[in-house]
């Protein structure tokens, strides 16, 4: 295997010097270097807690403490005996832990999705491989960055990736620079088998492929313990892993995503990002969310959601007009089929149910029937027990009316 960052990243990005400020070198004293308002925020009636956020100051561009806490959590997960993925080891057998040099933080994973394309894909010339059905932002970011999309669908029987077909494509087209995989998938709720991801990695390494395999793990904390492959970025330099605080951490509003990669890519992603992309409110919340007690609470909540998912699924599958649970059981949502009177998945009825639920019953789910392999499907996020109860009542009623029409 020959890994060469120079052959993957756009030449101009390789030479990029990060924006520097005086605060990189001096953080203490009378700070008159950044044209901030040293009188403080002009909001009246800030609470004591809010005062502590130093909102008149630019945030720390590096967020080392937060990165350390994130790494500590992921390293400890990977070291649990029941962890599916173990930390990689060096020649002497010592574990190689994630460290802040592996991380770039973004305004949600959406920022990282975009910035890797910007870093690696020459607009109008190079391509990105997607595996539909998948998360819509990859396609949007490709369009924005003028990157052509090549598709290798998931195996529609089980929503797993098809390694040989992916490899066939990258062999056939040397302009493909990135592969995006979602694990667990959206809208599929299916964790991609570790063996399949490792198969792709080993094949691209054998080929010395000049590109990155990006695994988006937005929902990984709903999958079995230690399912994340983020620590493997230190073993497989072509691997990039993304995570977010928007799902299991319950912090979609703070907009924080994590991108794990080999340090030679990470340093460039950090150089590219807007220096103050992680704001003071976000970092303060994320620091709290990655403390021991909050992490325990995150796991407890994820377990409750998983229990609720089983309850919702059991009940919903008994409702007349509901077909299969089309997706997997690795996320905080389910993907279910709506059938017509002939027992066939039906987009018209599914869309009607979606729309009536939202407009007449104030229950909003997502119509996914136009996604590949998802005919007649609705994607339903698992809510609180009260929300789920209301969903089930309203859903049954709306669907029974739709079937009568």
Q: Residues in the site for ligand PLP, rule: CB under 6 A?
A: 108-110, 135, 182, 186, 216, 218, 244, 246, 252, 257
Distance CA 66, CA 289 (A): 10
φ/ψ of residue 89, rounded to 5: -125, 155
Q: What is the DSSP letter of 210?
A: S
C-beta of 246: minimal distance to ligand PLP in Å? Answer: 3
The Cα–Cα gap between 205 and 196 comes to: 14
Residue nearer to ligand PLP on the CB measure, 182 or 290 = 182
Cβ proximity to ligand PLP, 186 vs 231, nearer residue: 186
**Residues 268/13, Cβ–Cβ less than 8 Å:** yes
Place of tokens 């997502």: 366
Q: Which is nearer to ligand PLP, 67 or 356 (CB)?
A: 67
Q: What are phi and psi of 261, to 5 degrees?
A: -155, 175
Which residue's CB comes closest to ligand PLP?
Answer: 108
CB of 20 to ligand PLP, least distance (A): 27
**Tokens (6 digits) for 252:** 């979609």
Residue 190 CB partners (closer than 8 Å, separation 6+): 158, 159, 160, 183, 184, 327, 328, 330
Q: Are 277 and 286 in contact (CB under 8 A)?
A: no
Q: How far is the CB of 158 from ligand PLP (least distance, A)?
A: 18
Closer to ligand PLP by CB, 186 or 270: give it: 186
Which residue, 22 or 252, has its beta carbon nearer to ligand PLP? 252
Pairwise CA distance, residues 403 & 204, whole Å: 49
Q: How far is the CB of 282 from ligand PLP (least distance, A)?
A: 11
- Of 87 and 218, the one with the shorter C-beta distance to ligand PLP is 218
Give least dist CB 191 to ligand PLP, A: 12
Q: Which region holds residue 404: left if phi is over 0, alpha if psi is between -120 and 50, else beta?
A: alpha
Decide whether 333 or 354 has the Cβ nearer to ligand PLP. 333
Q: Report in angstroms how near the CB of residue 240 gets to ligand PLP at its nearest.
A: 13
Q: How far apart are CA 342 and CA 396, in angstroms?
A: 18
Separation between Cα atoms, residue 54 and residue 65, nearest integer Å: 17
Work out how close the CB of 108 gets to ligand PLP at its nearest, in angstroms, rounded to a whole number: 2
């Amino acid at each position: 295997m020959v890994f060469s960052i120079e052959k993957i990243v756009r030449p101009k990005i390789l030479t990029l010097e990060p924006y520097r400020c005086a605060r990189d070198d001096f953080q203490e004293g009378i700070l008159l270097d950044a044209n901030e308002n040293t009188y403080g925020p002009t909001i009246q009636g800030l609470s004591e807690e809010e005062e502590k956020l130093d909102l008149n100051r630019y945030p720390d561009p590096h967020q080392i403490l937060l990165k350390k806490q994130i790494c500590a959590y992921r390293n400890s997960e990977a070291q649990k005996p029941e962890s599916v993925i173990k930390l990689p080891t060096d020649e002497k057998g010592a574990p190689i832990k994630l460290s802040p040099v592996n991380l770039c933080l973004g305004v949600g994973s959406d920022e990282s999705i975009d910035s890797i394309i910007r870093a690696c894909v020459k607009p109008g010339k190079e391509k990105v491989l997607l595996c539909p059905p998948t998360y819509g932002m990859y396609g949007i970011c490709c369009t924005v960055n003028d990157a052509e999309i090549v598709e290798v669908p998931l195996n529609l029987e089980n929503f797993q990736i098809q390694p040989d077909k992916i490899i066939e494509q990258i062999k056939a087209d040397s302009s493909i620079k990135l592969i995006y995989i979602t694990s667990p998938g959206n809208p599929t709720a299916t964790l991609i088998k570790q063996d399949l991801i490792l198969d792709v990695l080993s094949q691209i390494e054998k080929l010395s492929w000049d590109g990155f395999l990006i695994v988006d793990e937005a929902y990984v904390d709903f999958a079995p313990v230690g399912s994340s492959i983020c620590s493997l970025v230190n073993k497989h330099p072509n691997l990039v892993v993304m995570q977010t605080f928007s799902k299991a951490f319950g912090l979609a509003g703070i907009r924080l995503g994590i991108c794990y990669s080999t340090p030679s890519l990470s340093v460039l992603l950090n150089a590219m990002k807007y220096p103050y992309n992680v704001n003071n409110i976000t970092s303060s919340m994320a620091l709290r969310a990655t403390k021991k007690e909050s992490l325990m609470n995150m796991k407890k909540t994820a377990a409750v959601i998983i229990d609720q998912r089983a309850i919702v699924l059991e009940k919903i599958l008994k409702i007349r007009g509901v077909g299969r649970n089309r997706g997997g059981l690795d996320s905080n949502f389910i993907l279910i089929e709506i059938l017509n009177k002939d027992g066939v998945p039906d987009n018209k009825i599914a869309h009607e149910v979606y729309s009536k639920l939202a407009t007449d019953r104030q229950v909003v789910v997502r119509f996914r029937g136009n996604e590949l392999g998802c005919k007649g499907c609705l994607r339903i996020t698992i809510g609180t027990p009260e929300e789920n109860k209301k969903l089930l009542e309203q859903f049954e009623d709306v669907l029974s009316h739709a079937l009568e029409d």
